[in-house]
Amino acid sequence: MIKGQFPLERFKSVRTPFYYYDLELLDRTLDALQAALAPTPEYRVHYAVKANFNPVILSRIAARGLGADCVSGGEVKAALQAGFKASDIVFAGVGKSDEEMILGLEAGIARFNVESEAELRVLNDLALERGKRAPVSFRVNPDIGAHTHAGITTGLAENKFGINYEQLIPVIRTALELPGIEYKGLHFHIGSQILDMSDFVALCNRVNSLTEELRSQGLPVGDLNMGGGLGINYRHPNHLPIADFEGWLGTFRRFLHTEPGQLVHFEPGRSIVAPCGSLISRVLYVKEGTVKRFAIIDGSMTELVRPAMYHAYHRVENISSDGPEILYDVVGPVCESSDVFAREEALSECRRGDFIAIRSAGAYGEAMASQYNCHRLPEALY
């Protein structure tokens, strides 16, 4: 099998498990994204900070002049520290605290993506107390199911996210009357790791009919934020390392109706950072069970929870050996039977001390690490 290229000599002096980020691949990914954006100056990207808030990664993305999509006051602070301009920061989330809204107001962020009327009224009061007007978009629940894991679809009416379609018009009317609120636009997000472009076509159709309805009622539409969600190829990180930004943005160019000059925002997270990160571990033991052969590694669900949490697939490679392949279950040391990275995966024969790379782990990997079992948080190498 073709494997990724890793600087093994440098790995030898680092304590495992750790994240290794290929910054050159991150740069090429950002080049591809910016090339795909270039033909449509009205299309703007806010990187979804939740996918990876490692300061080195964040500042590299900020240096490209992209905006940031944040979901907490902590993320707003991290984005500002990394060099994102406040005027390029949007702040989403179904449960923003007063403290977080005040932070956004004081910093002068570009947008609050508001998810309920109750939140709108609190934000109005907080803005007025400070002599400000809060720029607001409404997150609309488009009631569209994306073909992805149930745990990461967000656009169905039964999900907690966004304002339901039927309730939107009264909420916009309220916003237009509140003196501390400046109505700016609409926000959508249907889910994550979406590879079937027809899901985005369905979103465009929904948004087109909604904007027509608003216009027919004499209401403003403002700008549109179509969220993130573009998937990557977890099976073939070496052959297909860069997400299909062309295909994704091209779908919106073809199917989303906009007025001249109307801005359209996107919030990709995973597609920007997933491919450049790998979790690097060492083999501790090879255990020959009666029905299985286990490669027990020092990395676990505490560094990368996606396989345990969503049954997500990540390709696993023995990067210390080119020898013949054998099937292994690759497992971590945590006392949970879900602490499994791969089942019956073909790996070059493993020996104690071999480096194991768990690929495409740059998104929702380090960002979701925990200290369960008193593990320390993983370090990063670039």
> Least separation, in Å, of the C-beta of 301 and ligand LLP?
12
Residue closer to ligand LLP by CB (options 180, 227) is 227
Residue closer to ligand LLP by CB (options 22, 69) is 69
Residue closer to ligand LLP by CB (options 118, 150) is 150
Residue closer to ligand LLP by CB (options 48, 120) is 48
> Least separation, in Å, of the C-beta of 333 and ligand LLP?
22
Residue showing the smallest CB distance to ligand LLP in the complex:
228
Q: Cα-Cα-Cα-Cα dihedral of 5, 7, 13, 15, to 10°? A: -30
- Residues with Cβ within 8 Å of residue 70, at least 6 apart in sequence: 49, 50, 76, 78, 79, 89, 90, 91, 92
Q: Which residue(s) pair with 139 in the sheet?
A: 187
> Least separation, in Å, of the C-beta of 245 and ligand LLP?
11
* CA-to-CA dists, residue 329 to 207, 256, 376, angstroms: 45, 45, 24
CA pseudo-torsion sign 172, 176, 179, 183: positive
* CA-to-CA dists, residue 125 to 120, 131, 269, angstroms: 9, 10, 32
> Least separation, in Å, of the C-beta of 167 and ligand LLP?
19
Q: Cα-Cα-Cα-Cα dihedral of 53, 58, 61, 64, to 10°? A: 150
Joined tokens for residue 378: 């993983």
Summarize as ranges the residues that interact with ligand LLP (CB under 6 A): 48, 51, 69, 92, 152, 154, 189, 192-193, 227-230, 267-271, 306, 310, 363-364
Residue closer to ligand LLP by CB (options 180, 237) is 237
Contact between 20 and 6 under an 8 Å Cβ cutoff? The reply is yes
Residue closer to ligand LLP by CB (options 189, 282) is 189
Helices 245-255 and 197-216: crossing angle, nearest 10°? 30
> Least separation, in Å, of the C-beta of 110 and ligand LLP?
15
Residue closer to ligand LLP by CB (options 4, 229) is 229
Q: What are phi and psi of 350, to 5 degrees?
A: -95, 140
| Backbone φ/ψ region at 166: left (φ over 0), alpha (ψ -120 to 50), beta | alpha
Joined tokens for residue 193: 């790791």
Residue closer to ligand LLP by CB (options 180, 362) is 362
Q: Work out the angle at residue 311's Cα, subtended by the Cα atoms of residues 305 and 313, and round it to the nearest 5 degrees.
A: 90
CA-based radius of gyration for the chain? 22
Contact between 101 and 115 under an 8 Å Cβ cutoff? The reply is no
